[in-house]
Amino acid sequence: MAERQETDVCIVGAGPVGLFAVFECGMLKMRCHVVDALDMSGGQCAALYPEKPIYDIPGYPAIDAAALIGKLEEQAAPFHPVYHLGRQVESLTEENGRWRIGLDDGTAIGARAVIIAAGVGAFGPNKPPLPGIEAYEGRGVFYLVKRREDFRGKRVVIAGGGDSAVDWALSLAEVAAQVYMIHRRPKFRAAPESVTRLEALAKAGRIEMVVPYQLARLEGEGGRLSSVIVATLEGQERVLAADALLPFFGLAMNLGPIAGWDLELERGHIRIDPATCAASRPGIFAIGDIATYPGKLKLILCGFSEAAMAAHAIYPLVHPGEALHFEYSTTKGVPAG
Ligand SMILES: Cc1cc2nc3c(=O)[nH]c(=O)nc-3n(C[C@H](O)[C@H](O)[C@H](O)COP(=O)(O)OP(=O)(O)OC[C@H]3O[C@@H](n4cnc5c(N)ncnc54)[C@H](O)[C@@H]3O)c2cc1C
């Protein structure tokens, strides 16, 4: 039988905005469960640009995206959110004035209100169709680089022709023992300046260009990669001894099941009332990149403000009949972590 868990607010999306919503709800005595399709929190910050500095977070002249996520998790921690990571939210059904959120593993979360902070939708990497690739994922095959240092001294095969592939080839060439760059054609779709640097590093022997080749299969044992086999369109193969394969074929972004939740949408975004962040069904709220209203800016700081507004609008649903006295955090304080 499917497991059922009860909470006050279910937050769909553990990106920066969803994480801050945990804090804002917590300050108003509302417990949260947070679901994310990725197996880590942080949304776009963690998946797309963890080591890039962000310059427009108030109070931080510059902060790396991963560090910001760390701070947001720390800020949410005193409120003991329950995370369901690596789980996609599939269904949303109304049951006696509460919502039932169904996850892809059969878990059901019952909540009084739902905050959709799903960014651009559930996203995951476009995976190359290599037989048995799953066995190597997380040990020898990585779709994103969490820490550049993890690749120090390693033999790395990078596949792809866009900005991510080229940028990581340039970056990892500084720490890896060997970098192979696989692309099926000589032309790259990356920033021209980066391509020029790539070519210079290839000339200097710091990166080996394996072009025009495509990934063919993997070899290794027990999830440990030993070589990546690549092939031309004519079937001519090369065996590259390797410790890690990094395929960068873009992210598949998918509004997915949310599109079928009977919410008013506007070009793939959820239309909300900007005063409350309420969506078109009572008890459902949307904040961050997925929400739209006139003048909406897709910035993290705007999402933070929407999280505060949504939490205040949800309070009377979770605490009916209890007046909400607006208080500053300086007055109220936060629970010990
Ligand atoms: C390269 C780059 C640089 C950027 N630089 C800046 C900057 O300098 N300043 C700035 O303010 N913004 C910047 N942004 C934009 C910023 O990252 C986004 O505005 C921000 O991430 C939005 O946060 P979010 O929490 O709304 O959504 P996201 O970060 O997109 O997170 C949403 C999460 O919801 C999950 N999800 C979606 N659907 C489901 C589902 N059905 N089930 C389970 N989980 C689901 C996704 O997996 C994802 O983890 C940048 C973006 C990029 C790509």
Backbone angles phi, psi at 281, to 5 degrees: -115, 135
Task: Quick: pLDDT tens for 263-304.
Answer: 999 988 999 999 999 999 999 999 999 999 999 999 999 999
Kindly give the distance from the C-alpha atom of residue 119 to the centroid of ligand 1, in angstroms, as a whole number: 5
pLDDT in tens, 210-220: 999 999 999 99
Residue 43 CA to ligand 1 center (angstroms) comes to 5
What local confidence, expressed as pLDDT, does residue 1 receive? 53
Share the mean pLDDT of the chain: 94
| % pLDDT > 70, the chain | 98
Q: Whose CA is nearest to atom 20 of ligand 1?
A: 300
Q: In the predicted model, is pLDDT for residue 254 greater than 80?
A: no
Ligand 1: does its nearest atom lie under 6 Å from the Cβ of 57?
no
pLDDT at 336: 72
Q: Check pocket membership of 230 for ligand 1, CB cut-off 6 A.
A: no
pLDDT at 33 over 70: yes
Q: State how beta strands 251-254 and 244-247 pair.
A: unpaired
Structure tokens at 314: 């949800």
Asked whether 43 lines ligand 1 (CB < 6 A), one says: yes
Q: Residue 201 — very low, low, confident or very high, per pLDDT cuts 50/70/90?
A: very high
Q: Is the CB of 166 under 6 A from ligand 1?
A: no
What integer pLDDT is reported at residue 47 of this predicted model? 85
Closest atom of ligand 1 relative to the 287 alpha carbon: 26
Distance (angstroms) between ligand 1 centre and the Cα of 45 equals 6
Shortest-distance Cα residue to atom 14 of ligand 1: 299
Residue 337 pLDDT > 60: no
118 C-alpha to ligand 1 centroid (Å): 8
User: Is it the case that residue 138 has pLDDT exceeding 80?
Assistant: yes
C-beta of residue 69 within 8 angstroms of C-beta of residue 52: no
Residue type, 102: G
CB 181 within 8 A of CB 202: yes
Q: Is residue 123 in contact with ligand 1, taking CB distance under 6 Å?
A: yes
Instruction: Name the nearest CA neighbour of 245 among 222, 210, 221, 218.
Output: 218
Q: Mind listing the pLDDT tens digit for each residue in 95-134? A: 988 999 999 999 999 999 999 999 988 777 889 999 999 9
Query: What is residue 305's predicted lDDT score, i.e. its pLDDT?
Result: 98
Ligand 1 pocket residue status of 310, Cβ below 6 Å: no
Q: How confident is the model at residue 71 (pLDDT cuts 50, 70, 90)?
A: very high
Residue 46 to residue 228: CA distance in whole angstroms: 27
Question: For residue 56, which atom of ligand 1 is closest to its CA?
Answer: 9
Distance from the CA of 259 to the center of ligand 1, in angstroms? 18
Confidence at residue 253, expressed as pLDDT on a 0 to 100 scale? 67
Residue 2 has pLDDT above 70, yes or no: no
In the predicted model, is pLDDT for residue 258 greater than 80? yes
167 lines ligand 1 (CB under 6 A): no
